[in-house]
A and B are shown apart, each in its own frame.
Chain A
């Protein structure tokens, strides 16, 4: 059935569209009410869904994300303690966060004491040591030193309970490094200042309010610390999430403000009345509500970035209104307007939807929902414009000054100059892009994952926290696997025992705290072997050993028995190891181990994004080819001059703009930007194709005004803190200018004889 006839059943269609809109709003509202967080701010949604080969990958990733650390740098213990108490109260006040600040020394001490023969490294205790005379002599010297040394010899307790002095070796050199306040707050000394340490653990997902409360309260405490001559630094994913959220909110405000100003000015100046402004606002409202409700109805919630980008994209919906305003004339009725618009607007709608639906293939939650958002918003706008707006609009006669000025400029461009401009631009751009791309190709690939600029302040604080706590800024995580957890611990211990002291200092291996079962049994056996010699030395000095101090009835333990929560480091059949990422030798040792796999989320994402990027580039090319093929019967030879050439110029403009106007390098979202560029640009090309001497001013007016609004929206996106939005903005902004000007020059300037008789 022809489209025009379908539209004659206008009442039925109106009813259907209203029902559809109402249904979406109802389902969306219902699901939003049922959801704990109808607006999602998580960072996960920005990354592809992944199915990592490491069974415990997600477990460890989740655990790491739920830890956060606070460091109070102060000269005065009392002030620092008060600040940490305030910090504890703040964390306690947020449901779902557990402060982890004080060390229960008694519990920890009792545990280590119970398993001291497992943990201790004694210089003279080993398998077969009791048969080595030199070793036995050394052992005797060691014990006699402890008896007769004036400083640091046996304490009364040790002589009764710990004659092997095991606890001292357990404490090791860290004794100098980590200390405890009287309240049990751990601290380290650094450059003559004390650094007090506090941890927090997220035990359930935080709501937006809780996240905001945590963020605001922490910043207030940071200010308080500053006022009291202290410094509070902190790190943890919740702060990054909140920073991203704040950036997005700021983006939305900026972009929204600029778009609104442009739309208001356009409507008032060019369409000379408040009514077009009211109708445009109404159209945008319908588009926004439809998009949000469709996504919420389908997914149960909507990501804030979907709203932000979607909000920009639906400014395309103003284009639909502008075509109507431009076509409204006293001589035309609603049916005439619909007839004039149905073909180009329908083709435009279909092309837009195809382009945006392809976003769904990315498997990125944000883009998947964006595809739904935009498609539904466009369809509902199309329905509103065609079914309602075309009928209710009064006959405003728009100002055509802009169109006439543009027409006049286009008519003055000589044909030869068009060749020079287009060919010159293409040749220069290709050369520049080739040269620049060749010199920085590697950097572009490595930064393909750069989707969100992390807040530099938090990045610096994270590096400081790592430096102060671990002694190094860049941390790399490795997962060491085994057939089961004990096997993983064995593999971990094999690597750990091969490390030098310096390498151990630059790493944290959980098998040091919880050795594998076999290792524990061996250690106990070694102390049992040396015990008779110890007993003999004691007897010679008239000392006796209490029964409970003998290493005779000790059994191995598991990590669950440890008095602190170690689950961060222990998975089902693997353990998490942390190392200094700048230590090349450590990295090499772990890379060469067949049991260790780097848990490099960025590197993993990089691979995933590369894969998706390839898919998207192919999809983009296929979509372009399909669109061109579909347009050939309609536009015939003009498809080259009005679609292919402008697309090429647009792509080159976008690439040049991206190279010179963004601090970031190529990423997947640039490809997505190209999708949007072509979806929008080809729409304008189709309208430009329909130019003839009767409608040239109308179409020039409609197309340029529509394009102006879009360009301003995407131009505003260039102010964004988000690499994703910046990429979209730059590509569409520069690309669209290139495409539109090329299409207009080729349609109007190149065929100016068709329009010579227009005054």
Chain B
């Protein structure tokens, strides 16, 4: 399988990283927080192995995604527009690991955030978007060849306009499927980055 993105940029790697942020739409208010449970199944085709994990998550436009794995191990991951970091008990935010070195994981985290927030305008830059309104399905196909090496497509299923299922499909028929359940939208004011994911039980 072709995993490694094209490396032309290394030939011309004299480049500054351009600003990524684009003003979003207003489907969700900054204070809206979506709570959900998840079950993730990662299928590795070459090994014919399934890696299953489950837990709960919360999502907001202002603070990002807090991803709490409860099985088979305990792990809290926090995704912002800057990328992903681990939240460990007793560890301050400053000491948490940012996956700045792993740009793919960071980018994918941001895509994930944009998908959950329905930030179509941002996604459009990197994906061809096909929306099946009748069945509430959104199919995203990577525009650039180097992203396509990593990812064949992303299929997002909604139920009553809320996220229900996401499948990341690789070229080798390996995939990662996430099922959401028990979604609740709340309006919480006065949150901060510090407490949003650190204090999530």
Chain A residues at the B interface, C-beta cutoff of 8 Å: 103, 105, 108-109, 112-113, 121-123, 138, 141-142, 144-162, 165, 167-182, 184, 186, 188-190, 469-471, 505-508, 512-513, 541-543, 564, 566, 578
Flag whether B42 is at the interface (Cβ < 8 A).
yes
Which B93-151 residues sit within 8 Å CB-CB of chain A?
97, 99-109, 111-112, 125, 143-147, 149-150
List 9 A-B residue pairs with CB atoms under 8 Å apart, sorted by A's residue number.
A109-B7, A146-B105, A151-B84, A152-B102, A184-B6, A186-B9, A470-B12, A505-B17, A578-B14
**A165–B79 CA distance with the chains assembled, in angstroms:** 19
Contact check, A156 vs B45: say whether CB atoms are below 8 A apart: yes
Asked if residues A151 and B103 are in contact (CB atoms below 8 Å), the reply is: no
Q: How many residues of B contact A (CB 8 A)?
A: 67
Residue in B12, B40, B147 with the greatest tally of chain A CB atoms within 10 Å:
B12
Say yes or no for B160: interface residue by CB 8 A criterion.
no
B8 touching A168, Cβ below 8 Å: no
B100 to nearest A CB, angstroms? 8
Contact B125 A189 (CB under 8 A): yes
Quick check: B16 and A152 within 8 Å, CB to CB?
no
Contact bitstring B68-111, A, C-beta under 8 A = 1, else 0:
01000101010100001010100000000101111111111101
- Given the interface pairs A150-B112, A157-B1, the reply to whether A176 lies near B17 with Cβ below 8 Å is yes
Give B173's nearest chain A residue, CB to CB.
A156
| Contact call B46/A178, Cβ cutoff below 8 A | no
Contact with A along B153-193 (1 / 0, CB 8 A): 00000000000001010101010101000000000000000
Contact B10 A174 (CB under 8 A): yes
User: Bound complex: CA of A174 vs CA of B166, how far in Å?
Assistant: 27
Residues of B within 8 A of A (CB): 1-18, 20, 38, 40, 42, 44-47, 49, 51, 53, 67, 69, 73, 75, 77, 79, 84, 86, 88, 97, 99-109, 111-112, 125, 143-147, 149-150, 166, 168, 170, 172, 174, 176, 178
Specify which chain B residues have a CB less than 8 angstroms from the CB of A167 in the assembled complex. 3-5
The answer to whether A512 and B13 touch (CB under 8 A), given A156-B174, A157-B1, A181-B144, is yes
Q: A181-B145, A190-B18, A505-B14 are in contact. Are A168 and B178 (CB under 8 A)?
A: no
**Complex Cα spacing A434 to B44, Å:** 83
Give the chain A neighbours of B10 by CB distance below 8 A: 112, 170-171, 174, 512-513
Give min CB distance, A146 to chain B, whole Å. Answer: 7
Total contacts A-B at CB 8 Å: 214
**Bound CA span A158–B7, Å:** 17
Select which of B9, B53, B79 is within 8 A of A177 by beta carbon: B9
Are the CB atoms of B47 and A168 closer together than 8 Å?
A: no
The smallest C-beta distance from A443 to any residue of chain B, in angstroms, reads 31
Residues in B whose Cβ lies below 8 Å from that of A184: 6, 145
B residues near A469, Cβ cutoff 8 Å: 12, 14-15
- Are the CB atoms of A543 and B145 closer together than 8 Å? no
Hey, which chain A residues are within 8 Å of B178, CB to CB? 150
Instruction: Tell me which residues across on chain A come within 8 A of B104, comparing CB atoms.
Output: 152, 168, 171, 175
- A173 x B14 contact (CB < 8 A): no
CB-defined contacts of A103 to chain B, threshold 8 Å: 6, 8
Contacts of A172 in B (CB 8 A): 13, 101, 103
Find out whether the CB atom of B102 lies under 8 angstroms from the CB atom of A168.
yes
Hey, which chain B residues are within 8 Å of A506, CB to CB?
14, 16
Q: Are A168 and B103 closer than 8 Å at their CB atoms? A: yes
On whether the beta carbons of B16 and A505 are closer than 8 Å, the reply is yes
Interface contact B105-A109, CB-CB below 8 Å: no
A590 vs chain B, min Cβ distance (A): 15
Neighbouring A residues of B99 by C-beta, 8 Å: 145
**5 smallest beta-carbon distances between A and B, as pairs:** A152-B108, A174-B9, A152-B105, A156-B174, A178-B9
CB distance B176 to A175 under 8 Å? no
Name the B residues within 8 Å of A507 (CB-CB). 14
| B177, chain A: closest CB distance, angstroms | 9
Determine the chain B residues whose CB is within 8 A of the CB of A180 once the complex forms: 6, 8, 144-146
If A169-B102, A178-B8 touch, whether A151 touches B108 (CB-CB below 8 Å) is yes
Given A149-B77, A156-B45, A177 and B105 contact (CB-CB distance below 8 Å): no
Residue of B14, B42, B77, B107 near A145 (CB, 8 A) is: B77
User: Is the beta-carbon distance between A176 and B103 smaller than 8 angstroms?
Assistant: yes
* Beyond A152-B102, A186-B8, A190-B18, 5 additional pairs, beta carbon < 8 A: A149-B84, A152-B107, A156-B45, A179-B6, A189-B18
Which residue of A142, A152, A182 contacts B106 across the interface (Cβ within 8 Å)?
Answer: A152
Looking at the assembled complex, report how far the CB atom of A183 sits from the nearest CB atom of chain B, in whole angstroms: 8
Bound CA span A176–B16, Å: 10
